Amino acid sequence: MMDEPAVREMLKVYGVSDTVERCERLDAGFSHDVKYVLWVGGAPTYLVRLSASDMLPRRKAEFEALAVHYERGVLCPRPLAFGETPDRTQCFTLLEYLVGESGETALPKLPEQAQYEIGLHAGCELYRMHEVPGEETTEAWLDRFSRKMARYAERAGELGLTYPGRERIDGYIEEHVSLLEQSPVRFQHDDFHPANLILDDGRLVGVIDFNRCDWGDPVEDFYKVPFFGEPVSVLFVNGQIDGYLACEAAADFWARYNLLVAMMLLPSVVWMHFHPPSGGLAWWLDRVAHMIDTHDFEGSGPPTWFKPEAY
């Protein structure tokens, strides 16, 4: 693993090392990557992400996707350089550092109208990302997605994991899964929620953490709304949905949304088994119960917390 002096030496070729005043390790998120924030002129200016060498194809694809979004005007970090470390044991990504505070901590401190308006802006940015089409066919994506869901179900069985009300939810999924046969294949951020938004002075600065990006049904990017958005700010997620639907009001949005939320309930329990939240798995099961109670897994309408044009 590269240390700070090695990072500085590596970056000389990109013309930033000589001006860097300090290099700080950034410990955040679930990724195995190592991240450093580089300070220039008394301010955090660059972010360096180091990944294992076997991640090179994946990280390169992410860098190229980020470059497409930045060029299209999406609020995201400016991608600066990508390559291998001198010893070829790692690859690195050099990005512009977005100064501000995570939306997860910043949103609850803002006035209610500001929370909603930031949500509107975030929904528009998400739609702009979804405008980028993928090369994979709908059939190929659905096959890949179905295999992923099957792996989670198998793992849950091996671990003896489930959640109250699963039989009803499984029935809903079986009844509506054919909706995905018509899904468009678009770019997906795949981790879009307040913790991956940067706010500064009451405004949205940018979307970060594209390291899980993928291609598939764009509505899949909304399944984390009730998982990680609604607990932070109901007004924000109302704004996010309003902003997105103002760009593209798909007639089957809520049907696909409910289906994808339902399909992700069991995978979320498996994920939390290996990455337990502070309240433990029992806390997360209570969260799943709340999602079931607040979602329309019968009529495929909006959840109870959604109030169109809240502001």
Question: pLDDT, tens digit, for every residue of 178-212?
Answer: 999 999 999 999 999 999 999 999 999 999 999 99
Q: What is the CATH number of the domain that holds 141?
A: 3.90.1200.10
- Looking at the structure, do residues 30 and 110 belong to the same domain, yes or no? no
The percentage of residues in the chain with a pLDDT greater than 90, rounded to a whole number, is: 81
**Residue 309: its pLDDT value, please?**
73
Between CA 41 and CA 53 the distance in angstroms is: 32
Phi, psi of 79 (to 5 degrees): -75, 130
* Single residue among 42, 73, 96 that ends a domain in this structure: 96
* Single residue among 50, 72, 96 that ends a domain in this structure: 96
Task: Give alpha helix (H) positions in the chain.
Answer: 4-11, 56-71, 103-106, 112-130, 138-159, 166-176, 224, 234-247, 253-274, 280-294
Q: CB 285: neighbour CB atoms within 10 A?
A: 18
**Residue 2: its pLDDT value, please?**
59
Between CA 41 and CA 294 the distance in angstroms is: 49
- Looking at the structure, do residues 249 and 113 belong to the same domain, yes or no? yes
**Residue 310: its pLDDT value, please?**
63
Give Cα separations from 92 to 47, 67, 70, 86, 275 (angstroms): 10, 15, 19, 11, 26
Query: Are 67 and 187 in contact, with CB atoms under 8 Å apart?
Result: no
**Residue 21: its pLDDT value, please?**
82
- Looking at the structure, do residues 83 and 106 belong to the same domain, yes or no? no
- Looking at the structure, do residues 87 and 111 belong to the same domain, yes or no? no
- Looking at the structure, do residues 88 and 117 belong to the same domain, yes or no? no
**Residue 169: its pLDDT value, please?**
97
- For the chain, what is the largest distance between any 2 Cα atoms, rounded to a whole number of angstroms? 61
- Output the tens digit of pLDDT for each of the chain's 311 residues: 556 666 766 666 666 666 788 888 888 666 788 999 999 889 999 999 999 999 999 999 999 999 999 999 999 999 999 998 888 888 999 999 999 999 999 999 999 999 999 999 999 999 999 999 999 999 999 999 999 999 999 999 999 999 999 999 999 999 999 999 999 999 999 999 999 999 999 999 999 999 999 999 999 999 999 999 999 999 999 999 999 999 987 889 999 999 999 999 999 999 999 998 888 999 999 999 999 999 999 999 999 999 987 66
**Residue 3: its pLDDT value, please?**
62
- Looking at the structure, do residues 32 and 174 belong to the same domain, yes or no? no
Domain count, the chain: 2
**Structural domain boundaries, residue 233:** 101-294
- Looking at the structure, do residues 147 and 286 belong to the same domain, yes or no? yes
Q: What is the CATH number of the domain that holds 15?
A: 3.30.200.20
Per the domain annotation, does 108 fall within a domain? yes
**Residue 279: its pLDDT value, please?**
86
* Single residue among 96, 128, 152 that ends a domain in this structure: 96
Per the domain annotation, does 303 fall within a domain? no
**Residue 311: its pLDDT value, please?**
62
